Structures are given as C-alpha cells and as structure tokens.
Amino acid sequence: MNEHDAREVERIRKRVYNINCSADIRSLLSIIDRLNAALVVANTEPFDTPPPGHIIDDTGVVRKVLGTLPLTADGCVVMMGEEVFHPEQDPSFHLEVMPLHPDTEPDKDFPIPEDCEYIGHYSYYERDTGFSQYESYDVRSCYSTSEAAEAARREKP
C-alpha cells in the first residue's frame, strides 16, 4: 500500500470513530481492514495472463488495448506499412498492411469480408499506358513471412 492509500484509510478510520449512529463501529472497521487488505493484494499480485482486452508490456505493466490489433493468420501483430504475404498472391508483389477505408467498394476478384478492418494491399499503375494491377487480401488471411504463406499454399487442397 502506498503512502496516499495509507493516509486515506486512516482518514476514513477517524471519520468512522466520530459517527454517532447505531452502526457497529467494530464491523465497519473490520470491513475497512478487509478492503485495505484486498487493495494491497490487488496492487502487488502479478498477472500470469492479462485480463481480456489488456496486454502486459515489457516492463510488466498491464495496459488496456484501445481498438483492435491487426493479426495475421499465423498470429503475428502487424503495423501499418509492414509487409505481409498471402498464399494466393503473385510472388513479385509486396503486400502492405493498411486500414480498409470504409467506403471501399467490394471487388469480385479480391473479396474482403464485411468485418475486415485491415488489408494487405498491392497496387501498380503506369501513368503513360494506363496499365494498372492490384491485389488486396484481409490481413487475417495473410502471413508474416513468405515461407509461412508458401507452406499454407502447399497445405491447401
């Protein structure tokens, strides 16, 4: 228990002594002591696994995750701009992780699920000829390495 918590418990204890009512003061003090003990345990007990919606950072601090983290099919967290690989992609393309814009039109060649938030995307455009080429895949179906994507491609019937 830190110094601030100790002062707060003592302040409450003094107020309880001054209460002039029919409540059993010993019971109230007992409740305060049990709450104080629970507070000490909660502040010092280490986490083996973080609560849902939280992570443990490299210093051991439990932090709440706001939003969702983009995960690949092999369970790696990826960041915007990072390269990912898809079993069906053209090997000469480099798919880049980006958020899926809410106004993106569905594409029959590269269907994206409605609940998709991040995509692995490649695009190429030649201004002189008008030639364009692109691929987009849900990041959840992509892999963090080309080897993992190749292994997944071989496993697919």
Does one domain contain both 20 and 93?
no
Which one-letter amino acid corresponds to residue 131? F
pLDDT at 28 (0 to 100): 66
Backbone angles phi, psi at 30, to 5 degrees: -65, -40
Give residue 39's region: left, alpha or beta (phi > 0; psi -120 to 50).
Answer: alpha
pLDDT at 89 (0 to 100): 85
Does one domain contain both 154 and 137?
yes
Does one domain contain both 96 and 157?
yes
pLDDT at 143 (0 to 100): 93
pLDDT at 35 (0 to 100): 72
Give the count of domains, the chain: 2
- Per the confidence metrics, is the pTM higher than 0.75? no
Does one domain contain both 41 and 90?
no
Does one domain contain both 68 and 99?
yes
List of the chain residues with pLDDT < 70:
1-2, 12-28, 37-47, 106, 108, 157
pLDDT at 80 (0 to 100): 87
**Domain assignment of residue 41, given as a range:** 3-45
Which one-letter amino acid corresponds to residue 155? E
Count Cβ atoms within 10 A of the Cβ of residue 120 and give its class: 0-12 exposed, 13-18 middle, 19 or more buried: buried
Which residues make Cβ contacts (< 8 Å) with residue 79, sequence separation at least 6? 70, 97
Residue 10 CA to residue 121 CA, distance in Å, equals 60
pLDDT tens track for 1-15:
567 777 777 776 666
Cα angle 49-33-6, degrees, rounded to a multiple of 5: 80
Q: What is the mean pLDDT of the chain?
A: 78
pLDDT tens track for 129-157:
989 888 888 999 999 998 998 899 898 76
Does one domain contain both 132 and 104?
yes
pLDDT at 54 (0 to 100): 79
